[in-house]
Amino acid sequence: MIAVIEVILFSYLAGCILFNLVLSVAGRLQRKRTMPPPEAGLYARVAILIPAYKEDSIILSTVESYARLNYPAGMYEVVVIADSLQPDTLTQLNRAGATVIPVSFEKSTKAKSLNAAFSQLPDDAYDLALICDADNMLSPDFLLKVNGAFQNGEYAIQTQRVAKNLNTPFAVLDAANEIIANHLYRKGANALGLSSSVIGSGMAFHYPLIKGIMQEIEAIGGFDKVLQLMVVSKGHAIYYLEDARVFDEKVEQPEAFENQRRRWLSSQLVYLRQYWKKGWQQLFQGNVDYFNLAVCQNLLMPRLLLLASVTVITVFYILLHHYLLLPAVWWVALWVCNCISLLLPVPVLFFRKYLFSALLGMPRAIFIMVSLLFRLKGANNRFIHTKHTKTGIDNPLLDVVSK
Residue 130's pLDDT band (cuts 50, 70, 90) = very high
Residue 284's pLDDT band (cuts 50, 70, 90) = very high
Torsion angle (degrees, nearest 10) of CA 64, 165, 311, 24: 50
Q: How far apart are CA 298 and CA 296, in angstroms?
A: 6
Neighbours of 4 (CB within 10 A): 9
Question: Which stretches of 285-347 are DSSP H helices?
Answer: 288-291, 297-299, 303-320, 328-343
Report the share of the chain in percent with pLDDT over 70. 94
Residue type, 362: M
CA 167 and chain centroid, separation: 20
Of 33-42, 133-142, 202-211, 380-389, least confident by mean pLDDT is: 380-389
H/E stretch holding 402 reads: strand 400-402
Alpha-carbon distances, residue 239 vs 38, 44, 159, 279 (angstroms): 17, 17, 8, 21
Q: How far apart are CA 402 and CA 304, in angstroms?
A: 31
DSSP collapsed to 3 states, 124-160: HHCCEEEECCCCCEECCCHHHHHHHHHHCCCCEEEEE
Residue 3's pLDDT band (cuts 50, 70, 90) = confident
Please write the tens of the pLDDT for every residue from 331-378. Answer: 999 999 999 999 999 999 998 889 888 888 899 999 999 898 887 766
Cβ atoms of residues 173 and 161 within 8 Å: no
Residue type, 262: R
What's the rounded mean pLDDT across residues 380-401? 73
The predicted structure's pLDDT at residue 384: 61
Q: How far apart are CA 257 and CA 115, in angstroms?
A: 28
Please write the tens of the pLDDT for every residue from 88-99. Answer: 999 999 999 999
Q: DSSP code of 79?
A: E
Of 83-92, 175-184, 261-270, least confident by mean pLDDT is: 261-270
The predicted structure's pLDDT at residue 402: 65
The predicted structure's pLDDT at residue 373: 84
Cβ atoms of residues 132 and 48 within 8 Å: yes
Mean pLDDT across the chain: 91
The predicted structure's pLDDT at residue 379: 60
Residue 19's pLDDT band (cuts 50, 70, 90) = very high
Of 149-153, 197-201, 300-304, 385-389, least confident by mean pLDDT is: 385-389
CATH superfamily of 46-251: Spore Coat Polysaccharide Biosynthesis Protein SpsA; Chain A (3.90.550.10)
Residue 253, SS3 per DSSP: coil
Check residues 284 and 33 and name the one with the higher pLDDT.
284
The domain limits of the chain are: 2-29+265-379, 46-251
